[in-house]
Amino acid sequence: MSLTHLLVPTFTRMLTNLGQWLDKAEAHQRATGGDVEALMSMRLAADMYPLASQVRFTCFQALEPTYRLRGLAIPEHWLGVRQDGWEANERPGSPDDARGCVAEALAVLGDLQPTALDGESPSAIALDLPNGIVFDLTREQYARDWALPQFYFHCVTAYAILRHHGIELGKADYVAHMLAFIRPGSMPQG
């Protein structure tokens, strides 16, 4: 399987789901008289980043490989989104901001060519972390061992934050994209 065919649909489907979770969360807050603006400051634990960070990091993690695997520098805008994620305690933004970030990431993914991530260059990825650690990975190792786990970590954490704070989400919300694959006549009745 090509890296484009693995990563782009995965990121696209889960980002679409994330946008729907945000819609549900805002609707829940409005229906229960909750503070819609406080939504983005919700967190699982005191020492974890809030929902605003998780959304921004999910978007960044979906796009980082689309640049790295093509040997391109990550645009300043997306580095800024990551930075905003680190600073979300001070500036969480609104649900509209979060949905805008998701929509922008989806647009970038949607503009990629069908084989965009399948070239041979670069043959290796040097992943420099902010703490000084550097990982040297093949393209496949980078996709499998970094890009996908990082993306899912932040996406699942966003889901868990919302569930923890009473938003009615379930497995069908998490894998909403799977509904397209239901075999006709196999859906339980009742």
Within-domain flag for 187: no
Count of alpha carbons within 13 angstroms of residue 38, beta-carbon side = 7
Within-domain flag for 186: no
Asked if pLDDT for residue 190 goes beyond 80, the answer is no
Within-domain flag for 11: yes
Poorest-confidence range of 26-30, 72-76, 103-107, 127-131?
A: 127-131
Please report the pLDDT score of residue 121 as a whole number.
Answer: 79
Domain of residue 23, CATH code: 1.20.120.450
Q: What is the pTM of this model?
A: 0.94
Within-domain flag for 43: yes
Tell me how many domains the chain contains. Answer: 1
Please report the pLDDT score of residue 108 as a whole number.
Answer: 98
**Beta carbons within 8 Å of 2's beta carbon, 6+ residues apart:** 115, 117, 118
Within-domain flag for 190: no
**Whole-angstrom Cα distance, residue 135 to residue 149?**
15
Name the residue range of residue 32's domain: 3-181
Please report the pLDDT score of residue 189 as a whole number.
Answer: 85
